[in-house]
Amino acid sequence: MSEQIRVGLDERSYTIHVGSRLLERTGALVAQFAHGLVPVVTDRHVAQFHLEPVAASLRAAGLNPEPIVLEPGEGTKRFAELERLLDTLLDSGLDREGFIVALGGGVIGDIAGFAAAVLKRGISWAQVPTTLLAQVDSSVGGKTAINTRQGKNLVGVFHQPRIVIADIDVLRTLPRRELLSGYAEIAKYGALGDAEFFAWLEVCANAALAGGAEKRLYMVARSCRMKAEIVGRDERESGERALLNLGHTFAHALEAATGYSDRLLHGEAVAIGMVLAFRLSAELGLAPASDCERLKRHLSAVSLPVGLADVPGERPDAETLIGHMMQDKKAKDGKLTFILARGLGRAFIAPDVPIGAVRAVLTA
Ligand code: NAD
Ligand code: GLY
């Protein structure tokens, strides 16, 4: 049971494989791109469950896997770790024709992809995403990055993988909270550009999240298809790709205000951010308030947070959040750029949103 989705980017085009029992086919799937030594960059949690099947399948394809196991967590996406990773890769003797496998969530994909992009001016790599977030979002589209003391993802490049292998079976070992956090990005695709998918999710998301393989495959593949189409039209985010940031201006401010900690996972912040973006759209008379309520009801139904009051601990203060938004890369001349919506499935880029309206939504 699997599906293939093409990301059409001329000579950088690649296929996303989504399905069951794909880890054991990793070797066969990457054999056309790799030879000899294949470093497999992963993290300790993922290695515990999923490294061996990947290594065995690479060996079976005549390749020589070399695991490089990093510490789990956002803290790994930093210069010191990148330097260490590059050192290890260079010491391993990887040449200009070398090939890396990134096996893990968005953290591993982002740092391993960045390493692949700069090593010997760019080598080929595969994304084998193991979180729901990575399967539907970060493994597709070629964004790679690390964080700096100034903020998240501030140093990075675009470097498309040669193949993406998203095995939905690996999600069985993912903690429930991480699964739900990744689900927020799936709901985002419906909310931003596909009302029919959103309606499907309203009916089927809980069954898919509970483990129903067919529904899970459908929702992951449909999300990947949507991202692949958008990336195919706007790889470098000069326009339409920005729609994928629905809810993210609020979310980044919330993540900054909660110290990028376990208090609020990225997808949880995105869930709250999307509701706020729809509320802002309704405040500005752009979208029906009933669509905001519908989005909120759905996210609540899958047990995601939907408002500032759902953030554990002290409620984030509106002025602090606005301060973070003004520092965000999307703030220009005191005006804020938001992804707003004219309704479910109808997002657009709004470059001049008045701060007063944002404040009203945050203090409501
Ligand atoms: P993550 O990579 O930190 O993974 C979350 C946790 O789950 C980690 O503890 C990890 O070890 C564990 N884990 C991963 N797969 C597992 C599995 N199958 N079973 C058990 N445990 C597993 O987090 P994430 O949410 O996948 O990614 C977040 C990162 O992605 C952020 O750094 C964000 O900036 C980045 N991101 C990048 C893009 C992009 O386009 N490049 C898009 C969105 C997010
Ligand atoms: N996660 C947003 C993007 O890839 O553009």
* DSSP state letters, 325-363: HHHSTTEETTEEEEEEESSTT-EEEEEEE-HHHHHHHHH
Q: Quick one: which H or E segment has residue 125?
A: strand 124-129
Is the C-beta atom of 106 inside 6 A of ligand 2?
no
Tens of pLDDT, residues 168-202: 999 999 999 999 999 999 999 999 999 999 999 99
Q: Is the CB of 48 under 6 A from ligand 1?
A: no
Residue among 130, 152, 261 to mutate when testing ligand 1 (max atoms within 8 A of CB)? 130
CA of 137, closest atom in ligand 2: 1
CA–CA dist 252, 240 (Å, integer): 20
Question: Residue 294 to residues 270, 282, 300: CA-CA distances in angstroms?
Answer: 16, 12, 10
Residue minimizing CA distance to atom 21 of ligand 1:
174
Mean pLDDT value of segment 141-148: 97
Task: Check whether 335 has a pLDDT greater than 80.
Answer: no
Share of residues in the chain with pLDDT > 70 (%): 98
Show the tokens assigned to 320: 């602090």
Please state, as a whole number, how many other Cβ atoms lie within 10 Å of the Cβ of residue 305: 22
Average pLDDT of the residues in 345-363: 95
21 a catalytic residue: no
Instruction: Return d(Cα 101, Cα 29) in angstroms, integer.
Output: 12
Q: How far apart are CA 193 and CA 232, in angstroms?
A: 16
121 pLDDT band (50/70/90 cuts)?
Answer: very high
Residue 279: what pLDDT?
A: 98
Distance CA 251, CA 235 (A): 23
Q: 227 catalytic, yes or no? A: yes
31-40, 279-288, 333-342, range with the lowest pLDDT: 333-342
Whether 241 sits among the annotated catalytic residues: the reply is: yes
- Write down the pLDDT at residue 329: 54
> Is-contact 139 127, C-beta < 8 A?
yes
> CA 248 from chain center: how many Å?
12
Half-sphere exposure of 191 (CA within 13 A, CB side): 34
Task: Tell me whether residue 252 is one of the annotated catalytic residues.
Answer: yes
